[in-house]
A and B are shown apart, each in its own frame.
Chain A
Amino acid sequence: MSAPAVAPVIKQLSQEQIARYADASGDHNPIHVDEAFARATPLGGTIAHGMLVLAFISEMMTSAFGAAWLSSGRLRVRFRAPARPGDTITASAQTQTERDDTLTYAVECRNQEDEVLISGTAEVSRG
């Protein structure tokens, strides 16, 4: 059986969502939640937590693989650029390798300007 195609996940980020994620994760770094602080940094404004954007990849893999992802999924990614409130994020996956026991996908998140924000691999055991 060949590796199944994985449907992309598309999300629009908001500052409200970033604030909710800060509360849910316990990461209240001011670069994410304090707009005045963030404006004074070289980033020029708040940015989303990398783990929030990465969650879109995990959501995509959960949709495709269900329990197999929850019990055997593995992500290895680099955060290449920040995501900002108002960005539209597309998480996608392309089959990279297929072995007897493991499927490997190249995964990434891009913003509405086609800028790569996250790239890496996702592995999941064949059920």
Chain B
Amino acid sequence: MTAPSRLLLSNLPKGHELATDRIDLTSARIAAYLAATGDTNVAYADRDIAPPLAVAALALGALLEQIELPAASLHTSQEVEARAGVPLDATLALRGRIAQRSERAAMVISVLEFEVTPEGATEPTITGRTTVMMPGASRS
């Protein structure tokens, strides 16, 4: 969590756009996710559709490669919306931005919005809003 090239989330202003990233939603990655969560529903394999929370988790994991969370950060709320099923083995474009940033006392509250769009699609299929509360920091 200390890679110097990453941006410190608490320093990013409202409106900051993170670099567009790519997620390869392989069946193996989804299988690893389902094994980790202990989810044995057959609906995913029956329809070749990924769990929306898996897509959101992989999106957040990818965004964490760009941003660093200060120590003692708290993930305080989460929204995830599926607008369509995300097919297994799709390649997804991931976009993220800082939708809100506020300061209270010594804490910073940032809302990170993200959306994933399968290659060839024109609209996002999964969107999310992640709220993180963290100590204020000035280093970049």
Contacts and interface: CB of A to CB of B under 8 A. Distances in A.
Contacts, number: 126
Interface in B25-59: 29, 32-33, 35-39, 41, 43-44, 47, 49-54, 56-58
A52 B37 contact: yes
Residues of A contacting B: mostly: helix
Interface string B62-90: 10110001011011111111111100000
Nearest to A11: B38
Contacts of B93: none
A79 B78 CA distance: 8
Interface string B87-119: 000000000000000000000000000000000
Contact of A71 (B1, B49, B77): B49
Given A51-B78, A58-B52, A71 B85 contact: yes
Given A29-B69, A70-B49, A76 B79 contact: yes
Contacts of B72: 41-42
Interface string A50-72: 11101110110011001101111
A50 B57 contact: no
Residues of B contacting A: mostly: mixed
Contact of A21 (B36, B41, B56, B77): B36
A51 B50 CA distance: 16
Nearest to A123: B81
Contacts of B13: none
Contact of A51 (B60, B79, B81, B82): B60
B15 interface: no
A67 B47 contact: yes
Contact of A73 (B52, B65, B78): B52
B1 A29 contact: yes
B79 A50 contact: no
A105 to B, nearest CB: 15
Contacts of A73: 52, 80-82
Nearest to A74: B81
Residue of A49, A55, A67, A75 with most partner-chain B CB within 10 A: A55
Interface of B: 1, 29, 32-33, 35-39, 41, 43-44, 47, 49-54, 56-58, 60-62, 64-65, 69, 71-72, 74-85
